[in-house]
A and B are shown apart, each in its own frame.
Chain A
Amino acid sequence: MKPKRAVGDGIISAVIKICGYSSILFVALILFFLMREGLPALWDVKPSSLIQPRWYPIEGYFGLLPLVMGTLMVTLTATLIALPFGLGTAIFISEIAPNWVKVVLKPIIEILAGIPSVVLGFIGILVMVPLLRKFLDLPTGLTAFTGAVLLGLISIPTIVSVAEEALNTVPAGYRQAGLALGATRWQTIWGITIPAARSGILTAVMLGIGRSLGETMAVMMVTGNAAVIPAQWDSLFRPVRTMTATIASEMGEVATGSVHYEVLFLIGIILFLLSLAVNIAASAISTRQRKRADRILS
């Protein structure tokens, strides 16, 4: 009996181990593939050509600046929109709402998370684009801002569910202690519950940013895709072209191995590095927070 059980255990733990390590392997393989296809662009295209202000690949203009800045502007604005809404909703669901509201709200938010981004893109084109143009008196409603609002909508459910989970893991005793010391409900939420759940909330924000950074379809449909460097004060309300939209719309017709193909993979590498940077920044902040909390507790 005993050795048989040991063998069974051994097999299962080996399988689980393989599953765990395979994700590392996949990331490594993806990175290797990106590097192999994209890095030759650095030799084939002059660096001065990569930082020029124009992107028009079919005639050899490979300026990446408009694309990188376009993505950064749309993602940052989307995060600024999604953050208050997402965190507010999470706090409401976890701390304030009565039970029956929770039961209704949570599935609704999960449905919102399940709506395909193409559908949101359609709504964006048909509803938001004309509305924004009329109300803000813009030349066109296909702007960075339109994309950012849609991306905000797309990343809110991610932020809500992860942040709400984090708030739920805060022990009830913390809240009770706060209230018992005479703090108001709001003081308890702001001063105790949120700081206690900070690292989970940061993860939520990070996942939200990652979601906006990588989203393609909805952005491609509503931002107008004009590769202009957003350098004017009203650039947020002008068309932009993001990196993801560029890859998606140009990869289909590009000849494998051509310079254009390599540069598209180089854009992929830049996207990869950006999300890596977001990850590293967030994990650095959350570990620093934990140390401070440890100090206070000790």
Chain B
Amino acid sequence: MRKFLTSLLLCCLLLQSCTADQNASSGSPAITSYYLENKGSDTIVNLALAWAEAYQKIHPEVRISVSGGGSGTGLTALINGSIPLANASRQIKAEEIEAARANGLDPQEFIIARDAIAVIVNPENPVRQLSLEQLSAIYRGEITNWSEVGGEDRPIVRLSRETNSGTHVFFLEEVVRLGSKVDKTIFSADTLLLPSSEGIISEVRDNPNAIGYDGLGYVTDEVKMVALSSLETPDEFVLPSIDTVNDGTYSISRNLYMYTGNPPSGELKAYLTWITSAEAQQIVTSLGFVPIIIPEPAK
């Protein structure tokens, strides 16, 4: 909720400063304004806002408005042709591509950053590491007490994001079902579905029984991250960090996408090219996400 409000506020400020700029420069008709509407995943909204702000500083003739609403909302708007650029924390579905084609569009995919899901517990909880199978069993409801995974004799309280969150679906597929396409297991019925990242963080911070998950970018110092092992190397436990996500040793990470309705050109193309630059990817790091290191800058 707080995240949403801050982003709303940022949006307003951004828009306001834009109109102010425009008023100031209305005397010089040489500046042509390009207006870009960018919408979608709530996971990406803060990142997209930071990018838009930085880009507008370099290119004052461009106005970018960013809003959240979820990956599905953004892609739907893209398919309807109401926005040119959608943010998504999941890949576009086949039926969404079909719907876009029916509207005369040809959606293009761009990987803009990476995100890792951190598993968090209360700092008082002595459990430091879990295998992916143990984590899966916890969320399936097969493990119900912390003593079964090397902790104290306490009941496990499972926390999850709501089912409409991209993070929820990603966790379901990669952790609960361990990446299996045929496995139709779902979360244990008594999993608490909390409406916001803040809800999860605050419950984990206060409750030593709780276990939760959230995007690496949202994890604060008040909770403890758990080291995870992958299915391939069950004995190597890795904490999520920028390095472990990029070298592929941390097991639950995903790509973040932007989609355009058609192959981009002009200002839109320039913006997308800038996003993959070292400067823009620096912003990714500062927000707790993981940059896409295509050309690793020599340090």
Give residues in A with beta carbon < 8 Å to B: 53-54, 56-59, 61, 66, 118, 125-126, 129-130, 133, 139-142, 220-221, 224-228, 238-239, 241, 249-250, 252-255
Contact = CB atoms under 8 A, between A and B. Distances in A.
Interface of B: 1, 69-70, 72-73, 76, 154-155, 157, 162-164, 169, 184, 186-187, 189-195, 199, 202-203, 206-207, 209-210
Contacts of B202: 125-126
A220 B194 CA distance: 8
A66 B190 CA distance: 11
A253 B70 contact: yes
Nearest to B168: A58
B192 A224 contact: yes
A195 B163 CA distance: 49
A59 B187 CA distance: 11
Contacts of A57: 163
A130 B189 CA distance: 23
A217 B239 CA distance: 35
Given A59-B184, A133-B207, A250-B163, A140 B72 contact: no
A129 B253 CA distance: 32
Contact of B69 (A142, A239, A252, A255): A252
A40 B123 CA distance: 49
A54 B186 CA distance: 10
A129 to B, nearest CB: 7
Given A141-B206, A226-B190, A239-B190, 6 more contacts: A141-B207, A220-B195, A225-B193, A225-B195, A228-B189, A252-B73
Contact of B70 (A56, A130, A142, A252): A252
A129 B186 contact: no
A253 B206 contact: no
A141 B202 CA distance: 12
B70 A226 contact: no
Contact of B203 (A61, A140, A220, A249): A140
Contacts of A241: 193
A56 B203 contact: no
A47 B122 CA distance: 42
B163 A226 contact: no
